[in-house]
Amino acid sequence: MPAKTLCSNCMREFEAGGIFGDPNSPFGVCPECEEIFERQQGQDLKKYVDNLMLPTLVVNQGLRVIAFNGSFLKAFCEWSPKPIGLLTGELLGCLNALLAERCGGSSACLDCAIHRSALETLNTGKLQKNIRAQLTRLEGGRKVRRELLVSTDKLGDLIKITVDSFYTVLEPFSDDI
């Protein structure tokens, strides 16, 4: 029997797997919401993002991912497929996105430089360049911290988030994961 998951956008339950979500991931987007985000994306935006060298994603005003490039997938995504429409922290694999409040809703998110920078760019239209950020996630069953430099820029009513550089720090082994 296929696993069920909640859509990250509309919160409806749907069958994980298929083309819309990895049955081993707690995140996914239902087919109806996936279609909405694909319409928002547009082919020109997809071509633009694919041609960028650095890991890049584009989010809408709700900080939901509508486009990303291959460099981003290689650097940050271990599961397949990668549905658009996820919240930024969900696609990044942030451990705080697993909390009940989800990405952007917990007290930990108030300190998230990626979240703050994207909102600053959304509200002011100003470029944020080389902002220091941390991301804690699971990789290969181990808790790791990624130290990043990110930049955000406005693309019309969308926000482009670029990872200018990053490195990974292994956390001490812990059984509480």
Every domain of the chain and the residues it spans? 43-170
HEC-encoded secondary structure of 15-36: ECECCCECCCCCCCCCHHHHHH
Residue 1 reports pLDDT greater than 60: no
How many angstroms separate the CA atoms of 7 and 30, rounded? Answer: 5
How many angstroms separate the CA atoms of 174 and 95, rounded? Answer: 15
57-115: per-residue pLDDT in tens? Answer: 999 988 999 889 989 988 888 665 567 888 898 888 888 888 888 887 878 788 899 99
Amino acid, single-letter form, for residue 158: L
142: phi then psi, degrees, rounded to nearest 5 = -115, 145
**CATH 3.30.450.20 is held by the domain 43-170:** yes
CB 15 within 8 A of CB 28: no
How many angstroms separate the CA atoms of 92 and 75, rounded? Answer: 9
Residue with structure tokens 């909390």? 99
Of 2-11, 37-46, 50-59, the range with the highest mean pLDDT is 50-59
Confidence label for 147 from pLDDT (cuts 50, 70 and 90): very high
Residue 85 is classified by DSSP as T
Q: Of 165, 41, 59, which Cα lies nearest the Cα of 104?
A: 59
Which pair of tokens denotes residue 95? 């451990």
What's the chain's length in residues?
177
Q: How far is CA 46 from CA 11, 14, 66, in A?
A: 26, 27, 9
pLDDT for the residue 27 = 60
pLDDT for the residue 34 = 73
- Report H helices in 51-167: 70-76, 88-92, 113-124
Global confidence as pTM: 0.77
Which pair of tokens denotes residue 89? 């922290």
